[in-house]
Structure 1
Amino acid sequence: MKNNNFISSFKYAFAGLISASKRERNFRFHLIAAIVVILTGIFSHLSTIEWIILILCISGMLSLELVNSALERVVDLASPDIHVLAKLAKDMSAGAVLVFACASAIIGILIFLPKWMEIIN
């Protein structure tokens, strides 16, 4: 299904985002977490570099969750029966999401904790 229309490619991309928002619990969780982080960042008066880092973490997390969900769908299509290789592919993809989520959480702590400690003291 080759698409030569540049505008149509955006339509399909937004359809994918909407589909993930409706069907994927983990994607919705990460969207809510992103909103919380952005609001917290606004009230924490982040520097430009801190915003850049957080935006990279948020966009990376959402992108990786989308890729994980897409991979799960393709694996289910290719192997509707339970198969050890299908399970491994899904588990490894979920593991990649977990690694990025943990790294993003640590980065968030490193950015926000000093600011919160400053407010408390």
Structure 2
Amino acid sequence: MMRRRAASFGFAFRGVWAALRSEVHLQFHAAATVVTIGLGLYFGLERWEWVAVAVAIGAVWSAELVNTAIEAVVNLVSPEYHPLAGRAKDVAAGAVLVMAVAALVVGLLIFGPRVWALLA
């Protein structure tokens, strides 16, 4: 039982790593994550702000990973172009866009006043 649980985590980490190596957008999100955490440490975010940032980062990463999985499955079952396959991929990419914009809003609300104060 414990071996299967451990293997499940291993498969999950392998999936994240495979996506990170192959998906340019996920690499961008990884860089943005590093910058965001660095800014959070620099500005000394409050606990609730860290919660908002962590949820936003996790949601964007999750959306991007689901999008990657959907694209892989669609490519497998429909190697030729099909309008429904294109629609599925577009909708999945749209979900990532919506989450990324929401995360950007969180970032602007939390970091915006601090950055503005530095510039003023």
State whether TM-score is above 0.5: yes
SS in 2 for 1:5: helix
Q: CA deviation at 1:118?
A: 3.1
Structure 1, unaligned runs of 5 or more: none
Aligned residue in 2 for 1:104:
103
1:1-121 pair list within 5 angstroms: 5-121=4-120
State the alpha-carbon separation in 2 of the partners of residues 6 and 113 from structure 1.
42
Paired residue type of 2:69: A
One-letter identity of the residue aligned with 1:64: A
Shift of 1:21: 1.1
Shift of 1:106: 1.2
Deviation at 1:24, TM superposition (A): 0.7
Aligned residues: 118
Which fold has the larger relative contact order, with Cα–Cα distance below 8 Å and residues 6 or more apart in sequence? 2
* Cα displacement string for residues 12-46 of structure 1 (whole angstroms, at most 9, x for unaligned residues): 01100110111111111101100000001100110
Once residues 24 and 117 of structure 1 are traced to their aligned partners in structure 2, the CA distance between those partners, rounded to angstroms, is 33
**What RMSD in Å do the two structures reach over aligned CA positions?**
1.1
CA distance in 2, matches of 1:24, 1:51: 26
Aligned partner letter, 1:79: S
TM-score, structure 1 length as denominator?
0.93
